[in-house]
Amino acid sequence: MLGLGSCNAQQKDNTAKQELSYTMDKNAQRHSYFLLTVTKGCSFRVLLNDIPIKEHFAGWSFDGELFLNQFIAKSGIQKLKIEFYPVKGHEENSFDDERPIHLEVRKFIKGDTPDLLDYDTISINPIPKIEKGTTHYVYETEFHADVPYNIPILDECIRLDTIPNIEELVKEQYNELKTLYEKRKYAQFLQKFDISRQRIAVANYYREGRMEKENKWVIDAMKEAYKKVAPIENYKLLFYGNGKLVTLIDKTDSLATFRLDDGGDSFWPVTFYLGKRKSSDKLEILFEE
């Protein structure tokens, strides 16, 4: 196809390189997809193509737009799933409203830095009324996305939910990350996110140099406030991506088990999902929130 380039994104330094394979039709329109989310008295988890894109279990409302492109691998049907829960700590009250959440899937015409007023609405609040007394509700729907790229990373991965010692392998990766961070090897720590970050840059049409600036900001923010990583404990194993991704969440608050700790009351949960490509001999961070 004219204008269809095959690319392998790589690091520019001399560290071990990790590559992301993808194709990009440079002549096609660069559509960006967002999910407008407004909650009224509920907690929720949103998944796109069986990958969590947002979890909100705080005791207050949420109002914002969620970027969807980084969870869209290619053009076609995208499966959206929303799990609703009563506000944490008030489960006995069920939902405060029959329509606890308002959703709009929007397609922005421009790519790189889309004008927030220049969009088409694909769907508006498709969720029906929820009966009072309900304490858990799941809604599933679909929409069609048209993007110029194809990132077949999950097609390259094996299922993890059939590996007998998968929990041990996951903990090894978590502890390796913990060690790198606490030894202040920040560049090596961030390198573990290479594949995920490259995928985000491709799917969101980043200009050259933008991801490097974001990486620097993230590391500067982390190391300024957080010197340690909380113990990897009190967790449960969860599989996503049709069994090809795995993560650990805390049993108590349902947040990511990997969390930067300031030694006091503040912590930073770092949510990521591990996968294993057929070409690799170990688990890698392939997705992040």
Nearest to 186 by CA among 214, 218, 232: 218
User: Which position has the higher pLDDT, 59 or 146?
Assistant: 146
Domain limit, last residue, from 92, 122, 147: 147
Mind listing the pLDDT tens digit for each residue in 46-103?
Answer: 999 999 998 887 767 788 889 999 999 999 999 999 988 877 665 555 665 666 778 8
The verdict on 159 and 51 lying in the same domain is no
Q: How far apart are CA 289 and CA 255, in angstroms?
A: 12
- How many distinct structural domains can be found in the chain? 2
The verdict on 67 and 126 lying in the same domain is yes
Q: How far apart are CA 131 and CA 139, in angstroms?
A: 13
The verdict on 74 and 94 lying in the same domain is yes
250 strand-pairing partners: 235
Domain limit, last residue, from 80, 112, 147: 147
Residue 16 within any structural domain of the chain? no
- CB atoms near residue 86 (< 10 Å): 20
Give the CATH number, domain containing residue 178: 3.10.450
The verdict on 162 and 251 lying in the same domain is yes
Range of the domain at 96: 32-147
Q: How far apart are CA 277 and CA 289, in angstroms?
A: 20
CB 22 within 8 A of CB 7: yes
What is the predicted pLDDT for the residue at 1? 30
Domain limit, last residue, from 106, 129, 147: 147
For residue 263, what is the DSSP state?
Answer: S
Give the H or E element holding residue 53. strand 51-56
User: Which position has the higher pLDDT, 130 or 235?
Assistant: 235
User: Which position has the higher pLDDT, 221 or 92?
Assistant: 221
Mind listing the pLDDT tens digit for each residue in 184-214?
Answer: 999 899 999 999 999 999 999 999 999 989 8
What is the predicted pLDDT for the residue at 289? 85
What is the predicted pLDDT for the residue at 6? 36
